[in-house]
Amino acid sequence: MEERGTLHRIEDDLSETWVEDWAGAGELLARLAELTADDPEDPARAPAYRAERERLLREAGELAWLGGSARARSAVVEASREALLAAQPAPPLTTDATFEVASELLGVANDLRRKHERYADSLPYYHAALVVSLQLRDPSGLSAALVGLGGSYNRLAGQAARAGLLELDSRRDELGDHSQLRRATAAAISTGRAWELTELALASRVWVLEEAKARGDLVAQANQISNLAETEERLGNLETAARYQRWAERVHSEAGDFEAAAIDARELVGYAKHLGDDEDLARWERRRGELGAMAEAARD
């Protein structure tokens, strides 16, 4: 995130499109919307059209996962809702729309995901809780269901990507030189089932982010930005991930949540190592130590 002054004034300084503005993606999304809406009439222009769209998608990062269709704030939630409801397991769980049922569904889903790491098995319950929470207009249940869906889909996407990479490793000799292997690796992560699951994780997390923004809850926004950074890292967008994580660290630190901020700093240490930035690495190692001490003092 670019410097915007003291953090405690951020609510006053940022517009409703602050995520796009902050990431510098507003113009990129507008251009993507044009490319999505207007297919080239001349077939000879199609390759250049696709190349430009792919370049903009890479530059805009996770904000462009909707393919540039989100021109307005409400469109982000609508697109996320459409994607997640379309992904409901078949047949979906049918339940009564009561707060007790929503709580029970979330309890089962959380046990499956957190205690047993049965991510696929948790999805029908999270989806059912999502539908019930929407019917009840319950923002708390909605956020809980979306957080769970985001976590499970993200784990499943990682598993699918690893499976693709293992298959590639067995074909290392066949693929030949490093450039071919690198292209195949990128394809394994950003296409097919791994990417489908990643899109659903992003849909969940972007929707939760919008809910947090509607409440003006900066810490909840930071939590989701941190989650989005995790997905960007897996997609290889380390600079984007680091930018998101820096913003999360600032918010968590300002809010006094030093444990969360220390986790942010730990992630930033890893990004700096991968990016080969020794100066940034030293700075975040120091900061991680400071935040760890502050977290320990807060617990005492």
Domain residue ranges of the chain, discontinuous segments joined by +: 11-71, 74-202, 217-300
pLDDT in tens, 101-160: 999 999 999 999 999 999 999 999 999 999 999 999 999 999 999 999 999 998 998 888
Closest CA to 230 of 277, 268, 276, 186: 268
Identify the CATH assignment for 217-300 out of 1.25.40.10, 3.40.50.880, 2.60.40.1120, 3.40.220.10: 1.25.40.10
Output the CA torsion sign for 100, 106, 110, 116. Answer: positive
Q: Is the pLDDT of residue 236 over 90?
A: no
Looking at per-residue pLDDT, the higher value among 5 and 232 belongs to: 232
Q: What is the mean predicted confidence (pLDDT) over 180-196?
A: 63
- Give CA–CA dist 157/195, Å, rounded: 7
Closest CA to 79 of 223, 230, 204: 204
For the whole model, what pTM was predicted? 0.69
Output the CA torsion sign for 212, 56, 150, 131. Answer: positive
pLDDT in tens, 80-98: 888 899 998 877 777 788 9
* Percent with pLDDT over 90 in the chain: 35
**Confidence band of 234 (pLDDT split at 50, 70, 90):** confident
